[in-house]
Structure 1
Amino acid sequence: MRVMVIVKASPSSESGKLPSEDQLAEMGRFNEELAKAGVMRSGDGLKPSSEGIRVHFSGPDRIVTDGPFTETKELIAGYWVWEVENMQEAVAWVRKCPNPMIEDSDIEIRPFYEMSDFADSDSSGEIAEQESRLRCNVAAKDALLQPYLFFGGRCEEALEFYQSNLGAEIVMQMRWQDSPEPMPEGTLPEGYAEKIMHATFQVGQQTLFASDGCGEPAHFDGFRLSLSVPTEEDAERVFDALSKDGKVDMPLTQTFWATKYGMATDPFGVGWMVMVPGDQQLPTQ
């Protein structure tokens, strides 16, 4: 279950008095313990209400009031969001927490509502499904999407090619024989021990992942990597290098969105779009 652990405001927090170095260190150790236990999901301290704003709702009216607010006991100075088994576990963790204030203080624990609590109002489950989609979309906002290329036994050759022709920088690479955990018997073809298990490399400002995979053939269908370069000379050099021993899918030419644009497939089957962006850009939405 998820709970919000609320640190109640105090006269010192409302006056803006910051914790001492010892208090910060002690709370830091407690937060580290929470994180290692997999309990802490988030947490922050809040500035005093003098820097806050309240909006009062009354029918169609919205009344905005600047802080400070006088009801100190009703205010909060910080919070955590924890994932715990039950309220008893949350209480046990709070008992271990150092006093967050210089004076006596209070911490309140409140469980979050879960969609199962609204089952009587959502008999069809439609609202729960909508909520689940919304949570996935919110989580995806912080996600990092990176291409992962599988070269079917030619990864090292491909990396050397990109180093020579695109100035790629190899950040790290690990071979199957260096894996900290042995692969199950029969997973890898014979002779694959020296093949690339995982590599990270950079082309320009983009980080990509690469691997030889587990012996399956490489298929690069249905997508291309778009590579923007600053000058037409750069475009011609890169395009020629990528298409040599590969193929030209669309010759470099001028378009309404680029002074030079062309499509090529490199010797490893990876499709590229090479361009020198012009003043007129493709629409982003």
Structure 2
Amino acid sequence: MRVMVIVKATKSSEDGVLPSEQLLTAMSQYNEELIKAGIMKSGDGLKPSSEAKRVHFQGNQRTVTDGPFAETKELIAGFWIWEVASMQEAVEWVQRCPNPMPEESDIEIRPLYEMDDFVDNDTEGAIRAREQAFAQVQSLQNATVQPYLFFGGRCEEALSFYEQALGAVVVTKMRFDQSPDPLPEDILQAGFEHNIMHASFKVGQMTLMASDGCGAKTTMSGFRLTLAIATEKAADAAFDALAEGGSVDMPLAETFWSPRFGMVTDRFGVGWMVMVPEVTS
């Protein structure tokens, strides 16, 4: 079952008093426990109602009122969404929570409605099907797409190159002979046993994945990676570094959409578009 765990507002939270370093640390550790247990799905603290607005509905009329709001006991200062087996489990977890306020405080636990609660009003299941379709759309909206590059036996060399050329940071690296599961028979080219099965590395804010693949036959075609850099000087340096041992497909130059744009294919056959985003006022 899903529950909303509501931290009720107090005078200090409405006054905008921020939690101490000690409390922040304690709450962070508590959240870590919730995440490791697979219970916490989301959660956040809320700013005081002095920064809020309230919309009152009366028929077709809408009235907006600026905060702060006087009813402190009816306000909330934060929340979690948890997935638990029962209300008792939720209670037990709340009892382990550090006091979220410097004074006495309350935490309320409220079950969320599930589609099963509306079965009598959805006898044909049409609303359930529609909600499931919405959930699928949301999942796709929150999905991520990451490039996965296959280097045909040169992955180690490529990772070192990107560390030097782009300041890449290698996050993970696993070789075929480190696999916890045996590989399918005859899938791996002879001599590839110690090659990289999977790696991930960061270039700026982007995480890419890489592998040697199962053999030397690999091509890098039909795509380019776009590298957006804030300054022209840094773009020039990155472009030159990528071009070393590779080929310049379009020299860096000013275009109508960017003060710097160029295309280069690096020594591993990976195509790049290097650009400086246009600054808009």
TM-score computed with the length of structure 2 as normaliser: 0.70
Say whether the 8 Å CA contact 1:169–1:203 is kept in structure 2.
yes
RMSD of equivalent CA atoms: 4.3
- TM-superposition CA deviations, 1:21-52 (whole Å, max 9, x none): 55445444433322332222222332332332
TM-aligned CA distance change 1:152 to 1:30, over 3 Å: same
Deviation at 1:79, TM superposition (A): 1.3
Mean CA deviation greater in 92-101 or 225-234: 225-234
Q: 1:1-285 to 2 correspondence within 5 Å?
A: 1-19=1-19, 23-119=23-119, 120-121=121-122, 123-124=125-126, 125-140=128-143, 143=144, 145-159=145-159, 167-169=165-167, 171-172=169-170, 174=173, 176=175, 179=178, 181=180, 183-184=182-183, 186=185, 188-201=188-201, 208-215=208-215, 217-226=217-226, 241-243=245-247, 268=268, 270=270, 272=271, 274=273
Q: Which has the larger radius of gyration?
A: 1
One-letter amino acid matched to 2:95: R
TM-aligned CA distance change 1:98 to 1:193, over 3 Å: same
TM-aligned CA distance change 1:176 to 1:70, over 3 Å: same
One-letter amino acid matched to 1:174: K
Deviation at 1:185, TM superposition (A): 6.3
Alpha-carbon distance in 2 for matches of 1:275, 1:17: 46
Say whether the 8 Å CA contact 2:3–2:83 is kept in structure 1.
yes
Alpha-carbon distance in 2 for matches of 1:89, 1:151: 49
**Tell me, what secondary structure is at the counterpart of 2:146?**
coil
Alpha-carbon distance in 2 for matches of 1:26, 1:252: 53
**Tell me, what secondary structure is at the counterpart of 2:142?**
helix
Alpha-carbon distance in 2 for matches of 1:239, 1:23: 51
Alpha-carbon distance in 2 for matches of 1:162, 1:5: 45
Segments of structure 2 that go 5 or more residues without pairing to the other structure are: none
- TM-superposition CA deviations, 1:139-184 (whole Å, max 9, x none): 23xx4x43210123333455567679xx244533735167373644
Alpha-carbon distance in 2 for matches of 1:26, 1:210: 38
Say whether the 8 Å CA contact 1:239–1:262 is kept in structure 2.
no
Segments of structure 1 that go 5 or more residues without pairing to the other structure are: 280-285
Alpha-carbon distance in 1 for matches of 2:161, 2:21: 53
- How high is the sequence identity, in percent, across the aligned residues? 52
How many residues get paired? Answer: 270
TM-aligned CA distance change 1:88 to 1:265, over 3 Å: same
Say whether the 8 Å CA contact 1:239–1:274 is kept in structure 2.
no
Say whether the 8 Å CA contact 1:150–1:211 is kept in structure 2.
yes
